[in-house]
Amino acid sequence: MVRGICLMTLSEWPRSVRGMLLLLLLPAGIGLMVLAWFIHGVLLERMSRDFIESRLQDEAAFLEHQVRQAGGRIDALRTGDYFQDVFHHAFAIASSSSQTVSPASWAPLLRPLLASGDEGAVRVRDASEPGAPSDILAYRRSFLVDGSPVTVIVAEDMEALKKGQAELHAWTAVISILLIVLLVGSIWVGISLSLQPVVTLQENLRKLQGGEISRIDVKGPEEFRPLVQQLNQLLDSLDQRLERSREALANLSHSVKTPIAAVRQILEDANRPLDEDLRREMASRLGDIDRQLEAEMRRSRFAGPQIGKSAYPVRQARDLLWMLGRLYPEKSFELSTSLPEECRWPIEEHDLNEILGNLLDNAGKWSTKNVELSLAQNGRLARMTVTDDGPGVEQGSLASLGQRGLRLDEQTPGHGLGLAIVREIVVRYGGQTSFSTDENGGLKVVIDVAV
């Protein structure tokens, strides 16, 4: 039940980024303002009490000095206008022979403090004496003068101070509310400016959908650039697929049109007998069509670079070597690599199978005994190397291996089979294919792809 409530609550949250940010930031900002206002009240109360207590302590020390100068004779002190002008506070002085309280209306509050034994600051609250405040802070100090005990008390009316504090605290609340309004405006402006690239991206997507632009160009924060790059790469990939499909259809149409026309002409010529030579020619033409269709169908299965697609080269290489070892049991297939089993390359799995499968099958077909596959990675460069100990290829024919536009059956005998497809896949991944003669005399194929 609790889980259902949580899911329902999350689903009711605003789906807009602006609404989500406001929902998260505004309560946090208001909460911080309220907390600051509360802390201000507590600190103001404490600072005021500490300040008043410090003044009362200084004034009690001054009274002590005056009493000591008078030799403990309280009646000899000028306690009239002089003390009122100096202190602006109520005070009480008591010795073993006399007491003085000023003003007289505070006597019901201060005399009990003279009789008590508490030293230092004393707070009296909720008093109900006529003419006297209900809340005071007093400081009591006792000392000896010529062996006789003397007690002095200085007191402050806290009600007036509390009224001043309340007024200051109220003004602080007003300022806090104004700051909250300013904070809301600042958050709104900040969110709007921060989301401007999103609005621009949305407008670009609308134009892209309407055919007004072919690529997205958004100059925004660093966080949005990978997204724009991925979208543009996806558009490039779609355009490349469309171009490859059109090219494949054009090549297929051009390649099969002539053989089909020749076969059709032979079959429609009722006066021409189908002798053995003619049958072989028709079979050859149909074989050409079949091979061309197979080659184009294989090309159509190539994915090319795909976001989120990757392959485990070591695992796939081991599987292919095991399968080819069964296909050519008299030959040895070896893998040389320092890559871990969990190493990944951003190459679609079927494409990697086509690359390695074609190279290994070609090498296995023409090798004498040994075929070696080497997998390596140096920084951002992945390298696949296939070598065999077969008869190899003449130096002058190496450059034509895997050349685009040549039919598979017109390649150099043996090593040319499938190499055109391998080179085409590698080109789609922005890689390079090089052919050379191995030190054992066989063919060496090296493929470099950026990962």
User: Helix H segments across 70-145?
Assistant: 81-87, 107-115
The enclosing H or E element of 436 equals strand 432-437
Task: Indicate whether 273 and 395 sit together in one domain.
Answer: no
* Confidence class for position 407, pLDDT limits 50, 70, 90: very low
Q: Do residue 137 and residue 85 come from a single domain?
A: yes
Q: Is residue 75 domain-shared with residue 115, that is, in the same domain?
A: yes
**Which has more pLDDT, 151 or 129?**
151
Compute CA distances 305 → 48, 276, 311, 347, whole Å. Answer: 72, 49, 12, 6
117 in helix, strand or coil? Answer: coil
CATH number, domain with residue 440: 3.30.565.10
269 and 369 co-located in one domain:
no
Examine residue 67 and state whether it is found in any structural domain, yes or no.
yes
Q: Look at residue 166 in the predicted model and tell me its pLDDT.
A: 80
pLDDT at site 80: 53
- CATH number, domain of 139, equals 3.30.450
**Residue 279 located in a structural domain:** yes
Q: Where a domain ends, among 162, 193, 216?
A: 162
Same domain, 245 and 372: no
Per DSSP, 130 falls in state T
Report if residue 384 sits inside a domain.
yes
- Give the rounded percent of residues in the chain with a pLDDT score beyond 70: 81
Q: Of residues 45 and 85, which shows the higher confidence score? A: 45
Instruction: Assess whether the previous peptide bond of 103 is cis (omega < 30° from 0).
Output: yes
324 in the same domain as 273: no
Classify residue 107: in a domain, yes or no.
Answer: yes
Q: Which helix (H) or strand (E) holds 398?
A: none
Q: Which of 300, 333, 352 is the last residue of a domain?
A: 300
73, pLDDT greater than 80: no
Contact residues for 379 (Cβ-Cβ < 8 A; gap 6+): none
Tell me if 206 is assigned to some domain: no
pLDDT recorded at residue 263: 73
Model confidence at 379: pLDDT above 80: yes
CA dist list (Å): 163 to 37, 70, 168: 17, 38, 9
- What pLDDT score was predicted for residue 381? 92
- Residue 40 falls within a domain, yes or no? no
pLDDT over 50 at 283, yes or no: yes
pLDDT at 335 over 90: yes
Residue 377 pLDDT level (bands cut at 50, 70, 90) = very high
- 370-372-377 Cα angle (round to 5): 175
If you average pLDDT over residues 29-55, what whole number do you get? 83
- Looking at the fold, whether 141 and 263 belong to one and the same domain comes out as no
Instruction: Tell me: do 157 and 234 sit in the same domain.
Output: no
Domain residues for 446?
Answer: 313-450
Are 389 and 432 in the same domain? yes
pLDDT exceeds cutoff 60 at 230: yes
* Residues 277-303, mean pLDDT to the nearest whole number: 68
Q: Is the pTM of this model over 0.85?
A: no
What would the mean pLDDT of 343-363 be, rounded to a whole number? 89
Shared domain check, 153 and 274: no
User: Considering the domain boundaries, does residue 6 fall inside one?
Assistant: no
Same domain, 352 and 407: yes
Last residue of one domain, picked from the residues 121, 144, 162: 162
135: in domain: yes
Helix residue ranges, H only, 70-128 = 81-87, 107-115
Label residue 109 by pLDDT band (50, 70, 90). confident
Could you tell me the pLDDT band of residue 376, with boundaries at 50, 70 and 90? Answer: very high
Q: How many structural domains is the chain composed of?
A: 3
Tokens of 439: 């030190």
Instruction: Give tens-digit pLDDT for 139-185.
Output: 898 888 888 888 888 888 888 777 877 888 788 888 888 888 888 88
pLDDT of residue 7: 42
5 pLDDT band, cuts 50/70/90, is very low
Do 230 and 325 belong together in one domain? no
Q: For the residues 230-235, what does the mean pLDDT come to?
A: 79
